[in-house]
Amino acid sequence: MTRKIVDKNIAYTGRVFELQNLEIQLENNEIIKRDILKMGFSGAVAVLAVTKENKVILVKQYRAGADKYLIEVPAGLIDEGETPEEAAIRELEEEGGYKAKKLKKLTEFYTTPGFTNEIIYVFEAFDLEKTEQNLDHDEYIDVIEYPIEKVDELDLKDVKTLVTLNFLKNKLKK
Amino acid sequence: MTRKIVDKNIAYTGRVFELQNLEIQLENNEIIKRDILKMGFSGAVAVLAVTKENKVILVKQYRAGADKYLIEVPAGLIDEGETPEEAAIRELEEEGGYKAKKLKKLTEFYTTPGFTNEIIYVFEAFDLEKTEQNLDHDEYIDVIEYPIEKVDELDLKDVKTLVTLNFLKNKLKK
């Protein structure tokens, strides 16, 4: 006996997500209502990138949900038709100003499985070449190249950044 | 020069969140639109709890956003008027069937700061006493008491669970 979605109504369609009212049939056949956000396209990516000078590439920008400026790893939504790998290469260059020649997938996760289907794919980038930031007209992003041995001193509040930098810390311990 | 929210319209009010259309004034005075979810109350909690038998308490349940059954640490929304600590004690008992006498805060983070204000507070629970699960009529949650030395073998897809169990893994390494 498992749950299943038995009815779906689209309550709102936005630029990035659609708000759906679901009716879900429970294990005991009872019907409950849940609101969820269905993200467009295939999710998002986050990138761990360390320069030849042993600095990790971080970005600081205003985040509308939190209404705060936060320090994060380079990240962004996967565009239509893009693979997660292509999105990771593109976002690292657009936000961070580095082009990576190689990627390794580190993990993937749901950010909030209770109410969105958003998945973030995390990659490590290798063979970085310095290029230039290439931001949209509405993006204002400061790049911070931060010494890897000091990442524990950062006040990080964004979960994808915590998970991504954990991979860096575990590597440094070895 | 920083960004600021200059206009706000509530597009949808749900059980757990409100969808807001924001107008945000950029660094160059341009106005952009963003949709965000404002979560009710003060956010959510997640709990790391290890029994005397060295088993970590996990829960498996259907998640409407992901439309999947996921294994997670005990977690839930903070109720109105509750502190994060009270919510952590309550959720561990309701979902996991253990009452904790002591808590230590491990971290806090935004799950998706780009489009929600949701914060999750993570606690470690101590001095556990076996009680009973106490679920809402619409909750069907399987408790899994899982040997701590095998947590690396779990296929975990929920980010709060990854972060919380990282604290456990780091403790085991010491």
Residue B49: give the domain boundaries: 44-173
Distance, CA of A67 to CA of A63 (rounded, Å): 6
Q: What is the pTM of this model?
A: 0.94
Same domain, A93 and A147: yes
Tell me what ipTM this predicted complex has: 0.94
CATH number at residue A52: 3.90.79.10
Statement to judge: residues A13 and A60 lie in one domain:
no
Burial of residue A25 (number of CB atoms within 10 Å: 0-12, 13-18, 19+):
middle
Identify whether residues B51 and B79 lie together within a single domain: yes
Number of structural domains (chain A) is: 2
Q: Quote the minimal CA–CA distance from A126 to chain B in Å.
A: 24
A90 and A137 in a single domain? The answer is yes
Q: What is the per-residue pLDDT across A30-47, written as a single tens digit (0 to 9) for each?
A: 999 999 999 876 799 999
Contact A138 B113 (CB under 8 A): no
Do B27 and B103 lie in one domain? The reply is no
**Contact A5/B67, CB-based, under 8 Å?**
yes
Residues B114, B167 share a domain: yes
For the stretch B66-123, pLDDT in tens is: 999 999 999 999 998 999 999 999 999 999 999 999 999 999 999 999 999 999 999 9
B34 and B117 in one domain?
no
Domain identity same for B20 and B73: no
CB-closest option in B11, B69, B109 to A158 = B109
Question: Do B82 and B150 belong together in one domain?
Answer: yes
pLDDT at B20: 95
Mark whether A27 and A60 lie in a shared domain: no
Is B35 found in the same domain as B48? no
CA A133 vs CA A59, A64, A95, A146, B154: distances in Å: 11, 21, 5, 17, 38
Q: How confident is the model at residue B27 (pLDDT cuts 50, 70, 90)?
A: confident
Is A66 in the same domain as A107?
yes
- Cross-chain residue pair A115–B17, CB shorter than 8 Å: yes
**H helix or E strand, kind and range, residue B67:** none
Report chain B residues whose CB lies below 8 A from the CB of A140: 3, 26-27
